[in-house]
Structure 1
Amino acid sequence: MLPLSALLLGLLALALAWPVPAVLSRARWPRRDPVAALVCWQAIGLAGGLSIIGALLVHGLSPWGGSLPEAWWAWAQHWFTGELPAQPVRGDHWVAQTLAAVLALELLGVLALALVRTARTRARHRALLELLVHPVPGVEARVLDSPVPAAFCIPGARPLLVLSSGMVEEFAPDELAAVVAHERAHLGERHHLLLLPFVAWREALPVLPAADRAHDAVRDLVEMRADDVALRSLPRSAARRTLARAIVAAAEGGAPTGALAAGGGVLTARVTRLLDPPEPLPRWGRPLAVGAAVTLVLAPTLLLLAPALV
């Protein structure tokens, strides 16, 4: 059973490494429901990692037993007793075991490193900005003296929302409210945590086109989600035009590394979506997308455990 599981896990890993991310990144429905699309991207990342590591692990341990728990236990005993399994252990089995361990350690290590590095960068920027920004009456953010319109937030344990003085002076009150609502949406829904695994994925596997594709797609989707949340707090009459004008103007200012900015993502797609909103998904659309994501995560899990259940 284990060789079949390894083959199926390998095919699933191959699908999640290229065609599935390519299809999802080109699809138009994610713009209709960024939340459902974000759930799908998270599932692709998790299932992809489980599949490739699982395929290598299962193939490497296949001579030691008919199921993963049995093979794992026999493999562990081998290092104490020196007893080899009845089936021959070839070189490719040892290579697969080594690659599984290396890949697992690399993915977890890069994720931890990205977390620490991003946290340090944000802490450094926050410490510097706290020396430069100041409160302004009537403005729900700290203000940085700069003539260039800019708006961004530094997430973390002590989040910081920053507007430039140029934005405060030039923007109308409703536009300022739109920008602040957008940034508060990033902080409230902790969008930086949704992005972090894909930053790590791109750093761990830079040669994999899907890593770049997934990172860019998730970055754009969190911006669209923040736009949607911001619209709820604005007067409905001209909320979309107000927010569109604000994010276009804010794009000029940029943002520090590790920050989430109102002008981030693919600006043209966001503005088009605001001014010409797509039809929302049917009522069954989000449950279907979430169900597909759950199935995607369960698939490699079941392939790993199924031989032990038969």
Structure 2
Amino acid sequence: MLPLTALLLGLLAVALAWPVPAVLARAGWTRRDPVAALVCWQAVGLAGGLSIIGALLVHGLSPWGGSLPEAWWAWARHWFTGAQPAGPVRGDHWVAQTLAAVLALELLGVLVLALVRTARTRARHRALLELLVDDVSGVDARVLESPVPAAFCIPGARPLLVLSSGMVAELDPAELAAVVAHERAHLAERHHLLLMPFVAWREALPVLPAADRAHDAVRDLVEMRADDVALRAVPGPAGRRTLAKAIVAAAEGGAPQGALAAGGGVLTARVTRLLEPPAELPRWARPAAIGAAITLVAAPTLLLVLPAVV
């Protein structure tokens, strides 16, 4: 049973490493519903990790039993009591076990390191900016003295939303409100946490084209989602043009490492989406996308546990 499970998990891992991310990155519907698309990307990342590690682990442990719990227990008894496996153990089984352990530790370790490194970077930037920014009457953010238009937020336990004085001078009140709403959407919906697994994936597997594709797609989607939330702060027929002008102005200034900026992502795609909004998806489309994401995560999970219950 385990060899078949390893084969199915391996095929799923291959699909999630290249064709599925490629198709999802090019799909036009994702810009019509960034929330559903973000759920799907999280599912691709989680299911991909489970599949590749699970395929290696199951193949490596297959000589020790017919299910993963049984094989794991027999493998542990082998090391502590010298009990022999049920079948012959070849070199590829030891290699698969080693690769599974190395890959799991690398993915988890890179994620932890990325979280720690990013948190430290944000803390340093926040400490420095708090010395430089001021409260300005009528501006719902801290203002940094700089002629270059810039708008960004630094997420964390003590989030900081910063506008440059150049941005305040260049935009009218409606445009400033749109920029602030965009940044507050990043903070309220914890978009940095949605992006972090893909930062770690790209660092852990730099040779995998899907890692870059997934990171860039998720980065663009969180910006589009923040744009959608910001539109609620600038209602009316001119709201989309107001927000588009604001994010174009913000694109010039950039942002510190670890921050989320109003001008981030693919600017042309965001502006086009605002000025020429795509048609909304049918009402059934979001539940269908979320259902597909749940199914995608459930598939490797069921493949890992099914041999133990049948």
TM above 0.5, one fold? yes
Alignment correspondent of 1:222: 222
Q: Give 3-state SS (helix, strand or coil) of 2:92's partner.
A: helix
Question: Which letter maps to 2:109?
Answer: G
Question: Which letter maps to 2:263?
Answer: G
Q: Give 3-state SS (helix, strand or coil) of 1:157's partner.
A: coil
| CA–CA distance in structure 2, aligned partners of residues 274 and 200 of structure 1 | 30
| CA–CA distance in structure 2, aligned partners of residues 19 and 169 of structure 1 | 47
Q: Tell me the percent identity.
A: 87
TM-score, structure 1 as length reference: 0.99
Report the CA distance between 1:235 and its aligned residue: 2.3
| CA–CA distance in structure 1, aligned partners of residues 236 and 170 of structure 2 | 22
Q: Give 3-state SS (helix, strand or coil) of 1:214's partner.
A: helix
TM-score, structure 2 as length reference: 0.99
Alignment correspondent of 1:176: 176
Question: Which letter maps to 2:10?
Answer: G
Alignment correspondent of 2:46: 46
Alignment correspondent of 2:29: 29
For residues 141-190 of structure 1, what are the alpha-carbon distances to aligned partners after superposition, in whole Å with 9 as ceiling and x for unaligned? 00000001000000000000000001111211111000000000000001
| CA–CA distance in structure 1, aligned partners of residues 167 and 26 of structure 2 | 34
Does 2:15 align with 1:3? no
Question: Which letter maps to 2:273?
Answer: R
Question: Which letter maps to 2:266?
Answer: V
| CA–CA distance in structure 2, aligned partners of residues 5 and 235 of structure 1 | 53
Q: Give 3-state SS (helix, strand or coil) of 1:254's partner.
A: coil
Alignment correspondent of 2:104: 104
Alignment correspondent of 1:234: 234
| CA–CA distance in structure 2, aligned partners of residues 82 and 235 of structure 1 | 72
Alignment correspondent of 1:275: 275
Q: Which runs of 4+ in 1 moved over 3 A?
A: none
Question: Which letter maps to 1:142?
Answer: R
Does 2:246 align with 1:246? yes
Does 2:100 align with 1:118? no
Report the CA distance between 1:232 and its aligned residue: 1.2
- In the alignment, structure 2 segments of 5+ residues that lack a partner are none
Question: Which letter maps to 1:250?
Answer: A
- In the alignment, structure 1 segments of 5+ residues that lack a partner are none
Aligned positions of 1:1-310 closer than 5 A: 1-310=1-310
Question: Which letter maps to 2:128?
Answer: L
| CA–CA distance in structure 1, aligned partners of residues 123 and 208 of structure 2 | 30
Report the CA distance between 1:236 and its aligned residue: 1.8
Question: Which letter maps to 2:24?
Answer: L
Question: Which letter maps to 2:55?
Answer: A
Q: Give 3-state SS (helix, strand or coil) of 2:234's partner.
A: coil
Report the CA distance between 1:237 and its aligned residue: 2.5
Report the CA distance between 1:82 and its aligned residue: 1.1
Report the CA distance between 1:273 and its aligned residue: 0.2
| CA–CA distance in structure 2, aligned partners of residues 75 and 234 of structure 1 | 62
Q: Give 3-state SS (helix, strand or coil) of 1:152's partner.
A: strand
Report the CA distance between 1:10 and its aligned residue: 0.1
Question: Which letter maps to 2:72?
Answer: W
For residues 94-149 of structure 1, what are the alpha-carbon distances to aligned partners after superposition, in whole Å with 9 as ceiling and x for unaligned? 11001000000000000000000000000000000001100000100000000010
Q: Give 3-state SS (helix, strand or coil) of 1:156's partner.
A: coil
| CA–CA distance in structure 2, aligned partners of residues 233 and 241 of structure 1 | 13
| CA–CA distance in structure 1, aligned partners of residues 170 and 248 of structure 2 | 13
Q: Give 3-state SS (helix, strand or coil) of 1:87's partner.
A: coil
Contact 2:65–2:86, Cα closer than 8 Å, also in 1: no
For residues 255-308 of structure 1, what are the alpha-carbon distances to aligned partners after superposition, in whole Å with 9 as ceiling and x for unaligned? 000000000000000000000000111000000000000000000000001111
| CA–CA distance in structure 2, aligned partners of residues 46 and 115 of structure 1 | 17
Q: Give 3-state SS (helix, strand or coil) of 1:153's partner.
A: strand
Query: Alpha carbon RMSD of aligned pairs, Å?
Result: 0.5
Report the CA distance between 1:86 and its aligned residue: 2.8
| CA–CA distance in structure 1, aligned partners of residues 237 and 158 of structure 2 | 34
| CA–CA distance in structure 1, aligned partners of residues 269 and 221 of structure 2 | 10
Q: Give 3-state SS (helix, strand or coil) of 2:153's partner.
A: strand
| CA–CA distance in structure 1, aligned partners of residues 133 and 124 of structure 2 | 14
| CA–CA distance in structure 2, aligned partners of residues 56 and 236 of structure 1 | 55
